[in-house]
Structure 1
Amino acid sequence: MVGGWIGKLGTVWVEGQITELTARGGTVFLTLRDPVANISARVTCPRGVYEATVPRPVDGARIVTHLKPDFWVNKGSFAFTALEMRPVGVGELLARLERLRRLLASEGLFGVDRKRRLPFLPGTVGLICGRDSAAERDVLENSRRRWPAVRFTVEPVAVQGPYAVGEVIEALRRLDADTDVDVIVIARGGGSMEDLLPFSDEALVRAVAACRTPVVSAIGHEQDNPLLDLVADVRASTPTDAAKKVVPDVGEQLTLIRQLRDRGRRVAKGWLDRETAWLAAARSRPALADPVREVERRAEQAEQLRDRARRSLTGSLDRAQDSLEHLRARLVSLSPAATLERGYAIVQRPSGDVVRLASEISPGDELTVRFSDDRVTVRSDSTT
């Protein structure tokens, strides 16, 4: 019943990656795997159909197959029979990769703002690479040549084929969970576009974007550009370049330290020389070279100012004295007392009025006669 029901389903087109390709007699057996969903199906293919496919599919190739589902009653298992095979062309692969690139870019996975800086000197470097590969030797040898004390945790994985994506993702998760690992390098030597397809896998790209540890992509050569290069924090053109970016050169750093030290010495010496010259100039100033002389000079200035003030005050007093003498002489010359000293007298009434004419005096008037140094009171008897 099951076989009859399955036989009525008709044919389907299925795309996948070939794994476990074997040929026995007139039949080719292969497993068709979906690398993203991690689902596989057993396929049998007549040798004529297989050999008619150009180019002939090999293990790891991506194909589109026209399949008819079957049910093997004796084994109780499902299988597919290939009626036609078509290799997935490079143009179609590039178009799919471009669509995936635009999708991931729209989600911000390739944004510059999410990329992290590499540590200056990582304590431990996690390395994901092929088993006993040239990429592993390049990274290890160049890194240890640059900084012999650097430590590595190497995770050997398949770097092409149907199992590459799963193994790389699992190694990435282990290294990311290790708190001693400061940076992760994913390295692979060059290869064809089909060989590098696992490093453009969506699941791997998203796994790298989710890492908390900085990731360096060193896939292929300068011209290769898988999607892993876009999501990684740093892209290296080759595994050797990855070693240069991750590990500083001890010789270069020692040279830099020596240059900075010499520069610091020159700056400090220049500053000390300037300050010493300023101090010498300050000490050579008269105020500091001979402080007593400055005090004496100021004392001389004070004495000169005092003498000048005295001369100025004496001259002012002398001039005032002369002026006062002249004014006194004028007052004396104009004073009535001077007239009185020449023998004249002033006649006044008791009220103080001066008597100028004899006719103003009546007999019996009391008068005061004032002389230069005294006065006398008289009474008039008569007038003439």
Structure 2
Amino acid sequence: MTAPAQTSPEQPWPVRTVARKISDWINRLGAVWVEGQVTQISARPGTATAFLTLRDPAADLSITVTCATELLRAHQPALTDGTRVVLHARPTFYVSRGTLSLRADEIRAVGIGELLARIERLRRALHAEGLFDPARKRRPPFLPDTVGLITGRASAAERDVLVNAQARWPSVRFRIENVAVQGALAVPQIVDALSTLDRDGAVDVIVIARGGGSVEDLLPFSDETLCRAVAGCRTPVISAIGHEQDSPLLDHVADVRCSTPTDAGRRVVPDVVAETERIRALRDRGRRALHGWVDRERRLLDSLRSRPVLADPVTPLLRRAEQVAGLLQRARRAVLGRLEEERSALNATNARLTTLGPAATLARGYAVVQRVGPAGDPEVLRAVDEAPPGTRLRVRVMDGALYAVVSGDADPPSGGSRGETGA
């Protein structure tokens, strides 16, 4: 029976058809080379087939692998959990069970040289991306509120970090995340713990610690996924992996690299004894500086008090008072002298005005004759012709004025000119 090309609620495929089609699709994939870490090896005596699990070292993914028992036993060195291998296998879908597995016909352990070469290629790639750049590294806080610690459960690395940190600062607080530090589960668990601590606002710095080991044991700390996770953390990360000679890629990505977990315990917090001594020294320096300043100011005050102006403040005031009194007298004499000069000048001017004024002339017997116009305004009479008969006159003498009317022409004087007008 041929299954229809399309399915519908009215024409669904039976389970056997779906399983058979999946099997056909997988069989068309053919044999592939697969890399991963071996876990859960099972090779029972008397059985022809051995079972193992191949796990992705950078993700929480695994797949079942079957192979001939003789192939597994003949492998040298013997495969153990966590061994990195490359195997040639054909994907197989078991229709009856609905499961997928790989049937391996060749298994190769990844050698140390090849592992180191892969790490070197990854190191160059991460360096080119700038993940090792010192400019992006952050300085851990001087005294963190809480220290996040990622390490193996009850490990020597955990003990070294805690003991050394608490010896330096007894009140330090830790949030510990125990994870696998080698094998197939190491990278996923470390990345999860790193994400958990990075989200915790109380954690100011994160320490990733592990003791020494072989190159294979330290492979998780050169994993690309872990390196990128550390580079993306907002919290400063301290790497304390292995011994002094060990240098996984995590040391280059982390913000601070410590040679050992013991070194990390010493660097993550300050030394309370050293800081106490520093505070005491600073207090002594401050006390000496304050005393020195007080002594200088006291000497300055003593010098000021010893000056004559402060020893006898009245005498300078009296001297200044005498100077002010002398200046006042000089100013008074200057003002009086100026007033006298101005008064004399005024009197002289007044005398000249008196001499030149008409009053002196009138006092000698002269008179000023003025013609009174129709409007009553007097005008000085300068000639006889200006006063015809009937003209009203105003005659001003020394002690007053009198009025007259011209009655006729006066006789001319003997000199032949006309005389003054008669009143």
TM-score (norm 1): 0.72
Equivalent position to 1:103, from 125, 133, 140: 125
Q: Within 5 Å, which residues of 2 pair with 1:163-202?
A: 163-202=185-224
Q: Tell me, in whole angstroms, the C-alpha distance in 2 between the residues paired with 1:248 and 1:6.
A: 60
Would you say 1:89 and 2:77 are equivalent positions? no
- Contact 2:59–2:188, Cα closer than 8 Å, also in 1: no
Q: Tell me, in whole angstroms, the C-alpha distance in 1 between the residues paired with 2:152 and 2:131.
A: 26
Would you say 1:13 and 2:12 are equivalent positions? no
| Count of paired positions | 305
Give, as a single letter, the amino acid of the residue that structure 2 aligns with 1:221: H
- In the alignment, what sits opposite 1:320? none
- In the alignment, what sits opposite 1:232? 254
CA 284–127 in structure 1, closer or farther in 2 if over 3 Å, else same: same
Q: Tell me, in whole angstroms, the C-alpha distance in 1 between the residues paired with 2:80 and 2:50.
A: 11
Equivalent position to 2:178, from 156, 162, 175: 156
Q: Within 5 Å, which residues of 2 pair with 1:360-371?
A: none
In the TM superposition, residue 177 of structure 1 has moved relative to its aligned partner by 1.1
- Contact 1:286–1:294, Cα closer than 8 Å, also in 2: no
CA-based RMSD:
2.7
Q: Which runs of 5+ in 1 are unaligned?
A: 307-384
Would you say 1:263 and 2:285 are equivalent positions? yes
Q: Within 5 Å, which residues of 2 pair with 1:41-60?
A: 41-60=63-82
- In the alignment, what sits opposite 2:43? 23
Give, as a single letter, the amino acid of the residue that structure 2 aligns with 1:19: T
In the TM superposition, residue 228 of structure 1 has moved relative to its aligned partner by 1.3
CA 7–299 in structure 1, closer or farther in 2 if over 3 Å, else same: closer
Give, as a single letter, the amino acid of the residue that structure 1 aligns with 2:32: V
Would you say 1:117 and 2:139 are equivalent positions? yes
Residue range with higher mean Cα deviation, 3-12 or 81-90: 3-12
Q: Within 5 Å, which residues of 2 pair with 1:212-361?
A: 212-292=234-314
CA 283–4 in structure 1, closer or farther in 2 if over 3 Å, else same: closer
Give, as a single letter, the amino acid of the residue that structure 1 aligns with 2:44: R
Q: Tell me, in whole angstroms, the C-alpha distance in 2 between the residues paired with 1:8 and 1:150.
A: 60
1:185 aligns to what SS in structure 2? strand
In the TM superposition, residue 31 of structure 1 has moved relative to its aligned partner by 0.9
In the TM superposition, residue 131 of structure 1 has moved relative to its aligned partner by 0.9
Q: Tell me, in whole angstroms, the C-alpha distance in 2 between the residues paired with 1:295 and 1:39.
A: 101
Q: Tell me, in whole angstroms, the C-alpha distance in 2 between the residues paired with 1:46 and 1:173.
A: 41
Q: Which runs of 5+ in 2 are unaligned?
A: 1-19, 328-423
2:43 aligns to what SS in structure 1? strand
In the TM superposition, residue 190 of structure 1 has moved relative to its aligned partner by 1.0
Q: Tell me, in whole angstroms, the C-alpha distance in 1 between the residues paired with 2:235 and 2:152.
A: 21
Cα deviation code 1:325-359 (max 9, x no counterpart): xxxxxxxxxxxxxxxxxxxxxxxxxxxxxxxxxxx
In the TM superposition, residue 6 of structure 1 has moved relative to its aligned partner by 5.5
Residue range with higher mean Cα deviation, 81-90 or 33-42: 33-42
CA 125–6 in structure 1, closer or farther in 2 if over 3 Å, else same: closer
